[in-house]
Amino acid sequence: MTDHAELARIRFVTTHFEYLQGLAALPVLAWIALAMAWASDWIGGWLVLAAIPPLAAAAVAAIVHYRRAYGQVRPPRTGTRDAVFLWPVLATVVAAAAVDIAGLTWPVSVEGIVLSGAALAGAVLVRPLTPALLLVGVPWLVVSLIPLGGSAGPHPLSTTEVWILAFCAGSAVLQVWGHLLLRRTLRPRPARRASGT
Amino acid sequence: MTGPFEELAGLDKLIHEPARLAITTALNSCAEADFLFLQRLTGLSKGNLSAHLSKLEAAGIVAIDKRFRGKRPETWIRLTGEGARALAAHWERLGALRERANTWSPDGPPRE
């Protein structure tokens, strides 16, 4: 059971335990996506408000499920862990602001390219999440580079609401992968005999 | 100079046992973890996990803290400073052993 790859997975799952509880984050992402859809005038505002109670209940139920099924872990006392997840968002916000301030309209989406770059860099650096990050990063990059708004632009993915929606969709894929990784590492197994006790 | 196989005998058997290596490796990656998490991680029964933890606690590798959350009892386990040092030394020894095993030759001096 404890080969090198298994120990590496144990380390990763223990260090990032709370981030891998994907079912708890999905309702939050769903609500942000609804809010962005409302901001784009695709749905009515009442739907965003009406979704709060069931989504909040789903998030709480997921947290309780994880606690009962997998136990609890207090994260390591380091501040650098959270920053890893903030950098892509921060970089995209800065890129979006820079493009907006400069008044540039390009046929490609700078925001999408920054997000996909972060996802692809993550795929190289964070091996346990590589499949999910590739699944997110490659389509983002392809869509960002296709001039969907015509040769003069602007690219639809450069609209704030749309790139936030794309970010939510990508994060949802990552959360589901995290959940599956957690399940795989902490799956119920037939009770092992104690050796060396 | 001993060969890599003689060095195997020098490994810390308390930590090297697979379940205890998984427990200490996990605890080294967090501030503390509860009993259920370690049970799911190792796949051990409650009794067997308790036995492993008692051994590690007796050796000063882990500290066990039993507390209540409301009316529910919780058991939290963390790696002690001594445990972290022992685990680091163990990994260092394993790394060196792996290196030597890769270059070891039964007939003569280590291969380059």
Chain B residues within 8 A of A11 when measuring between CB atoms: 25-26, 28-29
Estimate to the nearest angstrom the gap between the alpha carbon of A20 and the chain centroid.
10
Domain that holds residue B72: 11-102
A76, A185, A192 ranked by CB distance to B30: nearest: A76
Chain B residues within 8 A of A69 when measuring between CB atoms: 40
* Tens digit of each residue's pLDDT (9 = 90 or more) over B16-38: 888 999 999 999 999 999 999 99
Which amino acid type is present at position A9? R
Residue of B nearest to A6 (CA): B22
Domain-located, residue B69: yes
State the pLDDT at residue A151.
82
d(CA B6, CA B9): 6
Query: Residue B22 is part of a domain; what is its CATH number?
Result: 1.10.10.10
Band of residue B111 on the pLDDT scale cut at 50, 70, 90: low
Task: List the one residue out of B106, B95, B107, B86 whose CA is nearest residue B7.
Answer: B95
Does B40 reach chain A within 8 Å, measured CB to CB?
yes
Grouping H, G, I as helix, E, B as strand and the rest as coil, residue A197 is: coil
d(CA B17, CA B91): 13
Residue of A nearest to B55 (CA): A197
d(CA A184, CA B46): 20
* Tens digit of each residue's pLDDT (9 = 90 or more) over A136-190: 999 999 999 999 888 877 888 888 899 899 999 999 999 999 999 999 888 776 6
Domain-located, residue B1: no
Alpha-carbon distance A37 to nearest alpha carbon in chain B (angstroms): 38
State the pLDDT at residue B8.
60
Domain-located, residue B2: no
Q: What count of other Cβ atoms lies within 10 Å of the Cβ of residue A71? A: 21
Residues A138 and A149: beta-carbon distance below 8 Å: no
Domain-located, residue B45: yes
Residues 71-100 of B with CB under 8 A from A: 74, 76
Whether B43 and A70 lie within 8 Å, measured CB to CB: no
Alpha-carbon distance B73 to nearest alpha carbon in chain A (angstroms): 13
A91-94 long-range contacts, CB within 8 A, separation 24+: A91/A118, A92/A118, A92/A163, A92/A167
Domain-located, residue B3: no
Q: What count of other Cβ atoms lies within 10 Å of the Cβ of residue A170? A: 23
Q: How many domains does chain B have?
A: 1
Which string of DSSP letters, residue by residue, matches A49-77? HHTHHHHHHHHHHHHHHHHHHH--EEPPS
Residue owning tokens 């709480």: A60
Whether A192 and B40 lie within 8 Å, measured CB to CB: no
Residues B28 and B73: beta-carbon distance below 8 Å: no
d(CA A60, CA A57): 5
Band of residue A1 on the pLDDT scale cut at 50, 70, 90: very low
H helix or E strand, kind and range, residue B62: strand B62-69
Does B101 reach chain A within 8 Å, measured CB to CB?
no
Domain-located, residue B56: yes
| Phi, psi of B77, deg, nearest 5 | -125, 135
* Tens digit of each residue's pLDDT (9 = 90 or more) over B53-64: 999 999 999 999
d(CA A13, CA B38): 12
Alpha-carbon dihedral angle through residues B17, B20, B22, B26, given to the nearest 10 degrees: -150
Band of residue A191 on the pLDDT scale cut at 50, 70, 90: low
Residue of B nearest to A4 (CA): B22
State the pLDDT at residue B2.
56
State the pLDDT at residue A189.
65
H helix or E strand, kind and range, residue B65: strand B62-69
ipTM above 0.85, yes or no: no
Domain-located, residue B46: yes
Which of A95 and A175 is assigned the larger pLDDT? A175
State the pLDDT at residue B71.
86
Residues B78 and B43: beta-carbon distance below 8 Å: no
Beta bridge partners, B66, equal B75
d(CA A138, CA A150): 21
d(CA A21, CA A174): 11
Chain A residues within 8 A of B76 when measuring between CB atoms: 74
Domain-located, residue B15: yes
